[in-house]
């Protein structure tokens, strides 16, 4: 009888400890808008790790395109997987290119969170 209670207690304790771990992905969502505030489909979004930041961000480059809703999603888990457990924050430059227009932005991303930035293209 004691063994049965012990195993039940051990299973419940294991479930409690595993359920406390954060499982949310690290995501950067970049909205691209025109100078007239219209969402842009097909804009090229380049995310680059800022190695001059304090604390410095590791090397990172990723490129994606905005969808029909005008935003691009960059999976930042790939950065945090290589940066180590102690590095929970990264700073990134954002470059957006659409036709002959270029715009820049800057963002901070944290592990297990979604960061959102909006970049406006010039006239």
Which ranges in the chain belong to alpha helices (H)? 2-19, 77-83
Question: pTM of the predicted model, to two decimals?
Answer: 0.79
Q: What is the pLDDT of residue 86?
A: 85
Ranges of each domain in the chain: 24-120
Give strand pairing partners of 6. none
CA distance 35 to 17: 49
25 three-state secondary structure: coil
Tell me: pLDDT of 5 over 70.
no
User: What architecture does CATH give domain 24-120?
Assistant: Sandwich (2.60)
With contact defined as beta carbons under 8 Å apart, do 91 and 50 qualify?
yes
**How distant, in Å, are the alpha carbons of 18, 36, 47, 85, 119 from that of 39?**
40, 9, 19, 36, 10
Q: What is the pLDDT of residues 7-56, one digit of tens each?
A: 666 665 555 655 556 578 999 999 999 999 999 999 999 999 999 998 88
Q: What is the pLDDT of residues 74-120, one digit of tens each?
A: 999 999 988 888 888 999 999 999 999 999 999 999 999 999 999 99
């Amino acid at each position: 009888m004691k063994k049965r209670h012990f195993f039940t207690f051990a299973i419940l304790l294991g479930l409690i400890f595993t359920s406390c771990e954060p499982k949310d992905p690290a995501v950067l969502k970049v909205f691209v808008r025109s100078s007239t505030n219209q969402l842009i489909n097909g804009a090229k979004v380049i995310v680059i790790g800022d190695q001059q930041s304090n604390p410095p961000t590791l090397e990172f480059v990723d490129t994606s395109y905005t969808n029909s809703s005008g935003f691009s999603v960059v999976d930042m888990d790939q950065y945090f997987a290589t940066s180590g457990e102690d590095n929970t924050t990264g700073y990134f430059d954002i470059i957006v290119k659409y036709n002959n227009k270029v715009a820049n932005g800057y963002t901070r991303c944290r592990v297990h969170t979604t960061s959102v930035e909006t970049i406006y293209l010039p006239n």
